[in-house]
Chains A and B, each alone.
Chain A
Amino acid sequence: MEDIVIAILRSATPLVYVTLAGVIAQRAGIWHLGLEGLMISGACATVLGIVLTGSIWAALFWAIAVCVAGSVLFWFVVEKLRANQIIAGLGLTGLGLGGTTLAVQSIFGTQAAVSAPFGLPRLGPAFGAYGSLSILVLLMPVLVLAVWVMLRRTRFGLRLAASGEHPFAARGVGVNPSAMRLAALVMGGALCALAGAELATGSLQIFAQNMTAGRGFMGFAAVIFGAGHPIGATLAALFFAIVGAIGIKAQLIFGDRIPHDLLLGLPYIATVLGIWVSTKLRGGTKAANGFAELRNE
């Protein structure tokens, strides 16, 4: 039983961090498809940072710096250049996936995975069987709560929501929606960096090309599934992680009867079902509506 819980926590933590980034962006009115690219940049920067500087804190600093820079670029393109959010987000993702491959290849000369000598600090023996989990796992519920308080119980959160839902009203009371979106994306960037750091150095301490494997997009789906609410979206992310862990477990049990490539697809199928269920419950989502402006404006 313990090992299943550990496996779930391990796969859920990066997903929850990236989902929180998506929640904050969504509250501010941005459908953030660049999460995937930021997350892989965070993962890559953490591992390269450890290898090159030898310090996990310096590595985390670099990861956050890279992801915040990426977020500012994204903000500039969608807010100042008024680019389509979805296409620009996909572009940012492509930049992250291609850029990390390029960075690894140009530093180490091969496309092989880079392994770091050590990773994030672990919880330690005080936590018994859970001691091998990283400190970011413990920080996760705290952050979920913090994001919930920030979005739902502070003036800042209210202004953020106003900027997303009704920018004109926000402007009317002296809030600058564009600046609020910048703040939201910067916070999201830092969260994506942590998501990447946990994914790469929370258990394996390795960076491989395309290692995020769609987790950023799943985080985006969790935002929709959880109706943009931090707790709801976190539960949705947990659900995807549980399905993923079940898939891995099933591999060990039925590995000889069911092809394992198909079991690996379970989280993606769960994501599609999640989107479908959430539209059944709440009607269509608006992400694609941003598209109309491509031709209208």
Chain B
Amino acid sequence: MTERLVSVLRAVIFVLLGLALCGIMFQLAGYSAPLMFQAIADGAFLRAGALQQALRWSLPLFITATGVALSFRAGYFNIGAQGQFYIGAVSAAFMAEWLNGAPAAIVIPACIASGMLGGAAWALWPGLLRLKSGADEVITTLMGNFLAGLVLLYVTAGPLKDPSGSGQQASSRPLDAAYRISDSMGLSPTIVAIVAVVGVAIWLLINRTTFGVLSGLAGRNPTMVEWQGARTWRIGLASFLISGALAGLAGTVELMGPNGRLTGGFLPGHGFTAILIALVANFSVVGTAFVALFFGGLASAALYLPIMAGLPSAAIDVINAAIALFITAKSSLIDRIAKLKGRTWKTS
């Protein structure tokens, strides 16, 4: 229990450090830091309807972040969540287009399946490159993000283009209302059910199955797991595929839920925020749920910042990045607190 407490303490301290650094920076740049924090608190949780907005952003983030956590735990740096998210959304959009006119009871599950397959496929090739020939997945998944962004642009300006759309931003034809799983507020029983299923399934997978135990060990010490006779490459491939499928699922939820259509470059920070959530939560599923709510709150505050503190909404990206900069830091102070408890618990 102490270990968990220390890791929570650590995450809280470094998130606060990131926030404080941004506060100081914005204050120096001539903005009001207290007003900024007030606006974040209001926009994220306090204002009427804010919690609903925070949930709207955090539910898809939670789905992607559990996938990221799973692959990081297994020792694979799949930072291609953004690309897998896009390709998932694109696959689901094609499926919806193809089945257009069929009953919703068929179309919605088919779209979800194709979104997950699309995301998994986009994680498959970096996974194979990594596991078969050792090509560094950090670079390949990053390049995959850029490629997926271009695919999305191509699809929204080409095959799925909405002819009635303005020239300003390419977007696809809106989904038929019958196929939407939520309105533009992004909260519906269907989405909550999907999130609950994902949360429970991944929690069980990590905590109650051989795969969960072995993948966690493989992340710490692959050689040992290999020597014990487990096939690490199968664990690795499964981690890539599951994390890709979950990012694809999040893309599908965004498409069929709040967005209702594809837009070129939509939610550009989704993958990065999901990685951040997984790291802050220290790869635990329960932790991910809470942390996702926090970052969902920040995302919802992004719309509120310009009005209240006069800060451009990009300030939220800066805050996220500052937290990322510090979140993996190790603090001797926290180590010391942990040791005070009479045990030398590791802090990460």
Residues of A within 8 A of B (CB): 33, 73, 77, 81-84, 86-88, 90-95, 97-99, 101-102, 105-106, 213-214, 217, 220-221, 224, 259, 261-262, 264-265, 268-269, 271-272, 275-276, 279-280, 283-285, 287-288, 291-292, 294-297
Contacts and interface: CB of A to CB of B under 8 A. Distances in A.
Contacts of A98: 314-315, 317-318, 320-321
B150 interface: yes
Interface of B: 29, 31, 72-73, 75-77, 79, 129, 133-140, 142-144, 146-147, 150-151, 153-154, 157-158, 219-221, 272, 275, 279, 311-312, 314-315, 317-318, 320-331, 346, 348
A87 B137 contact: no
Given A217-B143, A276-B129, A279-B136, A87 B331 contact: no
B147 A106 contact: no
Contacts of A283: 134
The winner among A83, A90, A261, A297 for most chain B CB atoms within 10 A is A261
A262 B157 CA distance: 12
Given A83-B330, A261-B153, A271 B321 contact: no
A297 B153 contact: no
Given A261-B150, A265-B151, A288-B136, 14 more contacts: A83-B330, A87-B275, A91-B322, A94-B318, A97-B321, A98-B314, A101-B312, A102-B311, A265-B147, A268-B143, A271-B139, A271-B143, A272-B129, A296-B220
14 contacts: A33-B138, A87-B328, A88-B329, A214-B142, A265-B150, A268-B146, A272-B135, A276-B135, A279-B135, A280-B133, A284-B133, A287-B136, A287-B138, A288-B136
Contacts of A95: 318, 321-322, 325
A180 to B, nearest CB: 21
Contacts of A280: 133
Contacts of A87: 275, 279, 324, 327-328
Provide the main secondary structure of the chain A interface.
Answer: helix
A281 B321 CA distance: 35
Nearest to A90: B324
Contacts of B31: 106
B73 to A, nearest CB: 8
Nearest to B170: A261
A294 B328 contact: yes
B321 A262 contact: no
A102 B313 CA distance: 8
Contacts of A221: 139, 143
A86 B150 contact: no
A279 B134 CA distance: 6
A213 B73 CA distance: 29
